[in-house]
Amino acid sequence: MSNARVKKLVKEVDMENLVYALKDAGEEIRERVIPNMTKTAQKEYHRVAGKISKISKSDIKKSREKISQEISRLFA
């Protein structure tokens, strides 16, 4: 996915879902997504990530499914 598409996706996705989805994601994915966020979005990402103390595997799975649906909707 191009940087422009990643930026568009980040704008459309709820930040909490993004934090959950990236929690156990590989370093390669985080390095692709986080730098493509605006500075404001990065601050929000880190703020939300700091507030969340425990994330269950089911929450991660649900968030990834929501993001997958958003990708399909945005880029279909």
In this structure, what CATH number is given to the domain that contains residue 38? 1.10.220.30
pLDDT value, residue 74: 79
Instruction: Let me know if 59 is exposed, middle or buried by CB neighbors in 10 A (0-12, 13-18, 19+).
Output: middle
Domain carrying residue 12: 3-75
pLDDT value, residue 53: 80
Contacts of residue 7, Cβ cutoff 8 Å, sequence gap at least 6 = 36, 37, 38
pLDDT value, residue 71: 86
Cβ count near 35 (within 10 Å): 10
- Domain count along the chain: 1
Instruction: Note the pLDDT tens digit of each residue in 23-76.
Output: 888 899 899 999 999 999 999 999 999 988 888 889 889 999 998 888 888 776
